[in-house]
Amino acid sequence: MAEEDGLFIIRTFARDTDARLAEAVLDANGIDSIIVGDNAAGWLTYFNALHPIRLAVKESDVEAAIVLLDGGTPAGPPETQ
């Protein structure tokens, strides 16, 4: 991720698997993301209720990432034939 871009939390999750799935969707579409959270390697899963797992992306990717995770297709360059 570029140093000049700040990170923005775009989603929070109660379960690690949901966060990882969202991260995979973004990765498959070329959007770098990072998961921020700690549940002691799965031993203290109730931590997620107190401190949800957060998914962050670069400022420049916020809009496209939200559209993707909402089930849409991000606007890209016009297709040429």
- What digits encode the pLDDT tens for the residues 23-81? 999 999 999 999 998 766 566 666 666 678 899 999 999 999 999 999 887 666 555 54
Give every CB contact of residue 41 below 8 A, 6+ residues apart in sequence: none
CATH level 2 (architecture), domain 7-69: 2-Layer Sandwich (3.30)
- What digits encode the pLDDT tens for the residues 2-27? 455 699 999 999 888 999 999 999 99
- What's the pLDDT score for residue 2? 46
Give every CB contact of residue 75 below 8 A, 6+ residues apart in sequence: 64, 67
Write down the number of H helices and E strands in the chain: 3, 3
Residue ranges covered by each domain of the chain: 7-69
- What's the pLDDT score for residue 16? 85
CA dist., res. 28 & res. 42, Å (int): 25
Question: What does pTM read for this prediction?
Answer: 0.75
- What's the pLDDT score for residue 51? 76
